[in-house]
Amino acid sequence: MLGYNNQLNEILMNTWLAYKSKRAYVWQDFYWNPKHYPWPESKHRERLPRTPLNALIAGPSAGGPWEPGDNAPRSISEAWYHIVCPRNEVKLLNTHDIKPPVWFEDGKVIFDHWQKVLTDAPERCIEIHGADFSEDGNPQVFDLFLWGGPRVLSLWEDFKNSPVSRLLATSPLVQGAVDKNNWDLLPELPDPFNNPPAPNYEWGKNEPQNIEYYMKRCYPDDQTILEKVKKAREEYVRAAKPGEYRQLDVLFILSNDKTGWVDGLKTIFKDDGWHTIVTTRDLELSQAEKDIGMAVDMDLARLAAVFVGNGATGPILSLWASILLPEVLEAMDTHDTPAIYIWKIILAVPSFIGHLLVDLDQPPTYEKLRTWETNLPQHNFDLPFPEGRTGRYVYFSNELIKIGWNNKLSELLMNSHLAYKSNRAYVFQEFIWDSSHYPWPYYKFRTWIPRTPLNALIAGPTAGGPWDPADDAPRSVSLVHFNKVCPPSERRIINTQDVKPAVAWAEGNVIFDTWQKLLSEAPERCIEIQMPEEKVDRFGQIFDMYLWGSTRVLSLWEEFKNSPVSHLLAPSPIVHSAVVRNEYLLLPRGPRREERVPADPYDRLLAIHVRRGDFKEACGELARWNSSFYSWNLHPSLPDKFLVPPGGEWGKNTPENVAIYEERCFPTDEFILNKIRRAREDYVRSRKVGEDRYLDTLFLLTNDRTKWLDEFKETLRKEGWTTIVTTRDLELDMEQKDVGMAVDMEFARRAAVFIGNGWSSFTSNIVHRRLVDGREPISIRFY
């Protein structure tokens, strides 16, 4: 029940000892000191709260692989150890029988001593027991007395270069919280601490002036902290290499403080010129992330340009459990939910439990994200042209709402590109759901029509992010800001019906150039594009369904592919955190292979879009209208093209043609299996000289919720796929669940090979991202 960072020191060094002794390290759960656990005792699931090690770290210490070609035994869990090493086959070693001869030796001597014991022991299973507390108050192999003095430094070079250190990584859960060694005595580090002279020092008792000296460095006052931060910033900037630009303007305060003190410290730093200040308690964490909050803080400190810490504490700081989340009741705010449904989420308070039972499966509020959007730097009236009150803007109010996310994404990206080429700021809007597709039932809706901020789904210039350095194009602004800077009285309204008829069936680049000329030459500062009534034009967008569903769209490809709208497009932090949090699912579960295989799990991954459910009816409609593939799925460089079969008439097709569509739009299990086999074979066969290509992990991106999925997975296992992940295997918090379609898309974008459905806008947007990333056409396949 040590603090996490003290235990992490021990875990890593013990793993290194096991590795050098050619033994598998046995990892265990982290057991909490109950008073440091982030939840009160009434909420503990067991008497001693514990957290799986893989929630805190990743790497060989937690069972991860060693480097390719390293055949060292991998670490195993305590549960597996008890199975493979039953009690009657275990040799027990007591630390008190081995430690005394090397008790106060250098760390290297202690390490070598134990390594020889473990290496020479003939027994298969060894368990190291701590001595009785009365014999040794610190019974670890590498104990407090070693960690707290310079003797530990003799271990540094070997430990620093060991695979235990090099392969140590943040866990997916920690990394997700961030989309998220106790070597303070090293001679090369600044700010060394030298023990003050103490001629009258007694064990456990020090002189008053020395205690004051310790307190100034160990428990500094506000002024000392401020001075240290100033000095650290100045020295870091001054140490810049020739041609390197260094600036520090964001401050992260890692603190377990729950009083008003940290707010006072923030005020001091603001007065000193720090404009962006974040503290531990500002972090938004799910329940699982809250459990490992100290590791989240630790990783933020690891990633920072400069870190100022306390040399008396563990690997980075004593990051004791802070209450980082707002009270769960805040998540129950019903906002605009119709009053008739409020009773559905009334809290139950059974007296025999002693705390609230709350339905945690609620849509996110996005309060902080919306505040962040409001405070984007371009939302400033005083900015110079082409932004601010004199800037040029275009608002596409004709963008369709209550449609699927991927149809929406295609449209808003092209509109953003059009605004960019017209030297106008694109006005981004929230994604408004078709209620039937929303991940929560209607009685949990926070607004009558559910909506999600665009920055929850994507990042990049379209959602208000920066353009490339030196690109002075106006940045996108939110609809809220547009309504302030461009009130209705100052807008020019352009109805698509006034422009579209002349170019309705023209090539995509002709349509684009027509609108670009209009928007560029218009003298008005504020323009709103509106659609006509539905009876005049059912699809009133500039780039409508008829364009996206034909080869005419391809004339836009080269310019759109090379646009900063495309190459700066990125997953949102929420989407990225969900992907990283679930990457561990991709780790191979088959037997260790003799031949070289890619270490990156994505290089071994084949992702396949298997749409089921309502898509059967959609395929029937596509056949009825003799539809071609959708959008970028028509790119001529891609294999598996679909040629629209002859015959049939508008709105009606022949039975033979319908069967052709059904085979490729809603394929049978056997058809899917054959496509997977062929895609894997073609990809491996096309490898370059000296390149390793091997696919053994399969990700099924699917909306299926029936037993068909489990049966199909079993079929795939018989085909030799040892690691199979599906959409429903992902662990997502509420914000990640809300953007689940974008999470699936990001997995497919990163996979070595992707198989999609040529009529799907979801597939088309993945194809766009993969081609912009420079993926080979042979890695992009269709049914």
Cβ pair 12, 165 in contact under 8 A? yes
Would you list the DSSP string of 531-587?
---TTT-SS-SSS-HHHHTSGGGGGGHHHHHTSHHHHT-EE-HHHHHHHHHHGGGGS
Both 588 and 726 in one domain: the answer is yes
Both 596 and 535 in one domain: the answer is no
Residue found by looking up tokens 């023990």 in the block: 195
318 lies in a domain? no
Instruction: Tell me the pLDDT tens digit for each residue of 501-542.
Output: 999 999 999 999 999 999 999 999 999 999 999 899 989 999
**Is residue 419 over pLDDT 70?**
yes
The gap from C-alpha 578 to its chain's centroid, in whole angstroms, comes to: 4
Cβ pair 630, 618 in contact under 8 A? no
Q: What percent of the chain has pLDDT over 90?
A: 59
Inter-CA distances, 285 with 197, 331, 444, 452, Å: 46, 13, 21, 19
Both 588 and 649 in one domain: the answer is yes
Both 480 and 553 in one domain: the answer is yes
Domain boundary residue among 259, 286, 303?
Answer: 303
Distance CA 98, CA 248 (A): 50
Main-chain dihedrals φ then ψ at residue 51, nearest 5 degrees: -130, 130
Q: How confident is the model at residue 332 (pLDDT cuts 50, 70, 90)?
A: very low
Instruction: Tell me the pLDDT tens digit for each residue of 654-676.
Output: 999 999 999 999 999 999 999 99
Alpha-helix residue ranges (DSSP H) falling in 21-77: 53-56
Alpha-helix residue ranges (DSSP H) falling in 53-185: 53-56, 78-84, 95-98, 107-120, 144-147, 156-160, 163-166, 172-177
Please state which of the ranges 150-159, 283-292, 430-439 shows the lowest mean pLDDT: 283-292
**What is the predicted pLDDT for the residue at 772?**
98
**What is the predicted pLDDT for the residue at 777?**
98
Cβ pair 736, 590 in contact under 8 A? no
190 lies in a domain? no
Distance CA 536, CA 36 (A): 65
**Is residue 316 over pLDDT 50?**
no
* For range 99-126, the mean pLDDT: 93
633 lies in a domain? yes
**Is residue 114 over pLDDT 90?**
yes
Both 373 and 494 in one domain: the answer is yes
* 3-class SS of residue 608: strand
Both 131 and 278 in one domain: the answer is no
* For range 574-602, the mean pLDDT: 82
Cβ pair 409, 417 in contact under 8 A? no
**What is the predicted pLDDT for the residue at 417?**
99
**What is the predicted pLDDT for the residue at 201?**
59
* 3-class SS of residue 205: strand
Range of the domain at 745: 582-782
| Residue 56 DSSP code | H
**Is residue 344 over pLDDT 50?**
no
Q: What percent of the chain has pLDDT over 70?
A: 88
**Is residue 97 over pLDDT 80?**
yes
**Counts for the chain of helices (H) and strands (E), in that order:** 30, 24
337 lies in a domain? no
Please state which of the ranges 513-517, 700-704, 774-778 shows the lowest mean pLDDT: 700-704
**What is the predicted pLDDT for the residue at 113?**
94
Instruction: Tell me the pLDDT tens digit for each residue of 375-408.
Output: 999 999 999 999 999 999 999 999 999 999 999 9
Please state which of the ranges 62-66, 68-72, 525-529, 586-590 shows the lowest mean pLDDT: 586-590
Both 449 and 531 in one domain: the answer is yes
Q: How confident is the model at residue 594 (pLDDT cuts 50, 70, 90)?
A: low
Q: How confident is the model at residue 182 (pLDDT cuts 50, 70, 90)?
A: very low
**What is the predicted pLDDT for the residue at 232?**
85
Q: How confident is the model at residue 202 (pLDDT cuts 50, 70, 90)?
A: low
| Residue 153 DSSP code | G
* For range 354-359, the mean pLDDT: 46
Which of 93, 88, 86 lies closest to 113, judged by CA? Answer: 93
Residue 706 burial by CB count (10 A; 0-12/13-18/19+): exposed, middle or buried?
exposed
Which of 243, 237, 216, 238 lies closest to 227, judged by CA? Answer: 216
Which of 424, 353, 438 lies closest to 395, judged by CA? Answer: 424
Cβ pair 747, 575 in contact under 8 A? no
Inter-axis angle of helices 405-421 and 761-772, nearest 10: 50
What average pLDDT does the chain have? Answer: 86
Domain boundary residue among 524, 545, 570?
Answer: 570
CATH number, domain of 638, equals: 3.40.50.11350
Residue 647, sorted as left (phi over 0), alpha (psi -120 to 50) or beta, turns out to be left
Please state which of the ranges 41-55, 367-381, 402-416, 542-556 shows the lowest mean pLDDT: 41-55
What residues pair up with 252 in beta bridges, in sequence order? 278
**Is residue 430 over pLDDT 70?**
yes
Q: How confident is the model at residue 225 (pLDDT cuts 50, 70, 90)?
A: confident
- The residue among 402 and 418 whose pLDDT is bigger is 418
201 lies in a domain? no
The gap from C-alpha 205 to its chain's centroid, in whole angstroms, comes to: 49
Main-chain dihedrals φ then ψ at residue 83, nearest 5 degrees: -80, -45
Per the structure, how many domains does the chain have? 4
Both 86 and 159 in one domain: the answer is yes
Cβ pair 17, 114 in contact under 8 A? yes
Distance CA 430, CA 457 (A): 10
**Is residue 599 over pLDDT 50?**
yes
* For range 411-416, the mean pLDDT: 99
**Is residue 184 over pLDDT 80?**
no
Both 516 and 631 in one domain: the answer is no
**Is residue 75 over pLDDT 50?**
yes
Domain boundary residue among 542, 570, 598?
Answer: 570
* For range 354-371, the mean pLDDT: 76
Tell me which H or E stretch contains 680: helix 669-685
Residue found by looking up tokens 């009876």 in the block: 535
Both 551 and 596 in one domain: the answer is no
Both 600 and 495 in one domain: the answer is no
* For range 203-226, the mean pLDDT: 74
**What is the predicted pLDDT for the residue at 597?**
65
**What is the predicted pLDDT for the residue at 422?**
98
313 lies in a domain? no
Task: Report if pTM > 0.95.
Answer: no
Cβ pair 530, 495 in contact under 8 A? yes
Both 60 and 95 in one domain: the answer is yes
- As a whole number of Å, the CA-based R_g of the chain is 30
Please state which of the ranges 236-250, 316-330, 617-631, 696-710 shows the lowest mean pLDDT: 316-330
**Is residue 698 over pLDDT 90?**
yes
394, 400, 405, 407 alpha-carbon torsion, rounded to 10°: -90
Residue 297's contacts (CB-CB under 8 Å, 6 or more residues apart) are 254, 280, 316, 317, 319
**Is residue 319 over pLDDT 70?**
no
**Is residue 682 over pLDDT 80?**
yes
Instruction: Tell me the pLDDT tens digit for each residue of 746-760.
Output: 999 999 999 999 999
Of the CA atoms within 13 Å of residue 4, those in its CB half-sphere come to: 29
183 lies in a domain? no
Residue 441's contacts (CB-CB under 8 Å, 6 or more residues apart) are none
